[in-house]
Amino acid sequence: MTETTTEARAGVGEPLAVVCGGGRFPFAVAQAATRAGRSVTLFPIRGFADPWVEEWPHEWVPLGAFGALSAAIRRAGCRDVVIVGALTRPRLLDIRLDFTTVRLLPRIARLFRGGDDHLLSGVGAIFEEAGFRLRGAHEIAPGILVPEGRLGARAFDEAMAADARLGLAALAALGPYDVGQALVVIGGHVVAVEAAEGTDLMLERVADLRRRGRLKTAPGRGVLVKAPKPGQDRRIDLPSVGPQTVERTAAAGLGGLALEAGGVIAADLQAMIEAADRAGLALAGLAPR
Amino acid sequence: MTETTTEARAGVGEPLAVVCGGGRFPFAVAQAATRAGRSVTLFPIRGFADPWVEEWPHEWVPLGAFGALSAAIRRAGCRDVVIVGALTRPRLLDIRLDFTTVRLLPRIARLFRGGDDHLLSGVGAIFEEAGFRLRGAHEIAPGILVPEGRLGARAFDEAMAADARLGLAALAALGPYDVGQALVVIGGHVVAVEAAEGTDLMLERVADLRRRGRLKTAPGRGVLVKAPKPGQDRRIDLPSVGPQTVERTAAAGLGGLALEAGGVIAADLQAMIEAADRAGLALAGLAPR
């Protein structure tokens, strides 16, 4: 965190390019940079970024057109670049409906080697090689990092705290194998592990197992545990959560969310806390193991 | 294996009770015990065991009625008991349609604490406490253990061998967390980890990710990796495979199956090898790490 703050300060005053995927994270980053006195230009990725980006200085870019994108960023006078927002696979389905993007798929495909983080690492490497300074979203907007401690009305009970510890330990054990950033633990049992399917589909699976009577524990117990993969490039792949994560966790019949403090980002923590309180879920930031 | 063989010999001549779940494993065990000169009585579990059990001396028992079952086993003059066959959750759905079994569910539910192995451990403990000697299916029928080496026409290429090593290492890392017994690795990436959903649903998930364009690797690469959880009671919970596993692995677009040699059981290895050859999949038993 100390290093993060220093790095963020180092960029103060310099213009910032925010390459935007979907969701609210690009907004949080752009807002934080503006508040810090930086001029911000958004480069929303067509098919991923949300319409609000047009309220900012922006230039739409297609996914995969790195040459055009880097030229546009240079024209905007930026050297610091943040890549932030959802570039998740479900959106790739939509791309198929778009003929222009279909033509780009072979180039995108080369970056895919299994998980989203590889796409992102690939993109990150391309930017670095082009002479840009890649910044982490959390370096520009440290406020998006989930803080430590209870975050909402409901506290973890002992069983949930134990589930969270087990989950963090299991994620750490999986670290060297580059698996996922989330799992679900109920009553001391890891019932789902995220890999390529992502957190949302994993939570749907838990909801489904419960519907089919294959989880025999009462609802309201167990936790979703999220933590970054050890050793991953935090500038481009911190796990993220939002109110939707809370709703899916509730739909899975769990009791709460255990997020690694300083290792998971939330675009609007307050909205998430409110969603957790509404759903009666416990929400907490846990110190990394 | 040496110990196993000794133990199996120790029981020679003594009558054997085979408590049967679904599938062909109980048959393989009963057959091996008969060949070894033991008298065998089957205790097929209603709703799980298959009709062929009626060709053997048998007594149907409802799941959960341990008092009645142990009395029946004693009447049959058996002290050695094997519990073998599928008691998987999908079948529990069927139970719900059966009024008699619905009444037993509260007792069964107490045994459920997350994974199938807990149900099985619970059952195992109850038998041991009742004074029976619990035998592993593989102790009675060592032929069901997957042997080491290539088991079919197609050999692992280097990439698949590397995927298999990664998978075995990741499963071993997850060992202390009692997660699953299987995962899928493609091109150095763990794309799915089995937990409460079981191997079949995990393979379906991989097939689904591929259908939706979320796996960018060509079909015919990657492996299903199966190994027992370290430290688990092998008498009641060795992971099992069959021709159906091969078919689901093929449907998931993988290149092969990497099974821990001596740690995974196959009721009919020959049928499985044939299925693998038909599907063009590589099938191999790998030495434990």
Section B228-244 average pLDDT:
84
- A246 three-state secondary structure: helix
> What pLDDT score was predicted for residue A104?
39
Which pLDDT band holds residue A101 (cuts at 50, 70, 90)? very low
Are B170 and A187 in contact (CB < 8 Å)?
no
Are A112 and B216 in contact (CB < 8 Å)?
yes
Q: Give the count of Cβ contacts less than 8 A between chain A and B.
A: 130
The 10s digit of each residue's pLDDT in A172-211 is 999 888 888 999 999 999 999 999 888 999 999 999 999 9
Smallest Cβ–Cβ distance between B209 and the set A179, A197, A216 belongs to A197
What region, left, alpha or beta, does residue B241 occupy, with left being phi > 0 and alpha being psi -120 to 50 degrees?
Answer: beta
DSSP H helical segments within B76-213, as ranges?
Answer: 89-95, 99-111, 116-129, 137-140, 158-174, 198-211
Q: Which residue in chain A has the smallest CA separation from B171?
A: A174
Which pLDDT band holds residue B229 (cuts at 50, 70, 90)? confident
> What pLDDT score was predicted for residue A78?
96
Smallest Cβ–Cβ distance between B93 and the set A90, A118, A212 belongs to A212
Section B248-263 average pLDDT:
97
Which pLDDT band holds residue A11 (cuts at 50, 70, 90)? low
Q: Please determine, for residue B271, whether its predicted confidence score (pLDDT) is greater than 80.
A: yes
Q: Are the CB atoms for A135 and A257 separated by under 8 Å?
A: no
Task: From chain B, pick out residues whose CB is under 8 angstroms from the CB of A189.
Answer: 113-115, 118, 178, 196
> What pLDDT score was predicted for residue B233?
76
Q: Please determine, for residue A100, whether its predicted confidence score (pLDDT) is greater than 80.
A: no
Q: How much is the mean pLDDT over chain B?
A: 84
Section A45-59 average pLDDT:
92
Alpha-carbon distance B53 to nearest alpha carbon in chain A (angstroms): 27
The 10s digit of each residue's pLDDT in B115-173 is 444 555 666 777 787 889 989 999 999 999 999 999 999 999 999 999 999 999 999 99
Task: From chain B, pick out residues whose CB is under 8 angstroms from the CB of A212.
Answer: 89-90, 93
What's the rounded Cα separation, in Å, for the pair B46 and B83? 14
| Top-confidence residue, B17 or B67 | B17
The tokens describing A194, both together, are 């995220």
What residue ranges define each of the domains in chain A, with the CATH number in brackets? 2-142 (3.40.50.20), 145-286 (3.40.140.80)
CA–CA distance from A45 to each of A103, A128, B156 (Å)?
A: 16, 19, 40
Note the ipTM here. Answer: 0.71
